Structure 1
Amino acid sequence: EVFNILLQVLEDGRLTDTKGRTVDFRNTVIIMTSNVGASFMRKEALGFASRRDAETEHKEMSSRVMDELKRTFRPEFLNRVDEIVVFHSLQTEHLTKISEILMNQVTTRLEEQGFELKVEKSALELIAKEGNDPAYGARPLRRAIQRLIEDNLSEKILQGQFKAGDRIKVEAKDNQIKFSKMRARRKKSNS
């Protein structure tokens, strides 16, 4: 059903609904994503890392993904797609940076409630490690942050270990997230 709708959009540049209303797609760029081939990436990640050139490895992966696309989607659909791009797998440093961006959102929310969070690099690296799933890219990072940071910190706040106005340090030790209270900032004197 969805493929038939997409075929109409890609072929005719328009979409007609069941009530006869038409939407013009002629000047539209459509970007579609798929997890086709993600199983290959997961298997590669589970094996031992090879010393092959990264570009050669990506070309081989792209070829395997294209074969899988041909098995998954009908030719009339694939023939209407102008370009297919196979992205490189996310590396640890990418996942760590994405973890930092997501944690900045958490930090902002907590600041609105009167808490100051100082997230150490070790915590970001553990989040990246725990939230790494080659088949799903960066999506599991949000769940890792929820599980490792938000749920645990909320519990500690409810138990009274931290209160509004506290500065909280978040770090990883022994493969676990640790929260500790930091000293309050000194007030600047007006002398």
Structure 2
Amino acid sequence: MAEVRSHFRPEFLNRLDEIIIFHRLDREALRRIVDVQLRRVAQRFAYRDLGLEVTDAAKDWLAERGFDPVYGARPLKRVLRKELEDKVALQILDGRFLDGDVVVVEPDGDGLRITTKGPSPAGADLTKG
């Protein structure tokens, strides 16, 4: 895809994206996409010496909210950024994570609950703050 992007303008690629018909994603495909995106998030967390543990229920929650019948799984990155990455970033800035912490993510109603286990107080609920 990087090769295609280097040869064509974004406007053209957006037009193709609107025209090309993709087969509807099934639940299994959505979960695989969530797993791929979460691996990328985990790699970024690793640079800060943080681990990432996401429950199956949280993965289902992300798959459900990151899917749109028209756009497929495209909204998933936005959901991950808003519901996980931004919240964790704020907690890092507040100094609530220590080196070696594991970020634990699970669904909590209409959002995700972010807790930690590791050097910081075990099981500390970092969702609020």
1:109 aligned to 2:44?
A: yes
Question: Which ranges in structure 1 are unaligned for 5 or more consecutive residues?
Answer: 1-31, 37-84, 185-191
- Higher radius of gyration, 1 or 2: 1
Stretches (4+) displaced over 4 A: none
Paired positions, count: 105
Alignment RMSD (CA, Å): 2.0
- The residue aligned with 2:96 is 161
Percent pairwise identity: 30
Q: Which stretches in structure 2 are left out of the alignment for 5+ residues?
A: 1-14, 120-129
Question: How many angstroms apart in 2 are the aligned matches of 1:141 and 1:87?
Answer: 17
1:178 aligns with 2:109: no
Deviation (angstroms), 1:173: 2.3
Match of 1:87 among 3, 10, 22: 22
Q: Given the two structures, how large is their TM-score scaled by the length of structure 2?
A: 0.71
- Per-residue CA shift, 1:32-68, capped at 9, x if unaligned? 94424xxxxxxxxxxxxxxxxxxxxxxxxxxxxxxxx
Q: In the alignment, is the contact (CA less than 8 A) between 1:35 and 1:135 conserved in 2?
A: no
Corresponding residue for 2:18? 35
The CA deviation string for residues 13-42 of structure 1, in whole angstroms up to 9 with x for no partner, is xxxxxxxxxxxxxxxxxxx94424xxxxxx
Aligned counterparts of 1:137 and 1:33: Cα–Cα separation in 2:
15
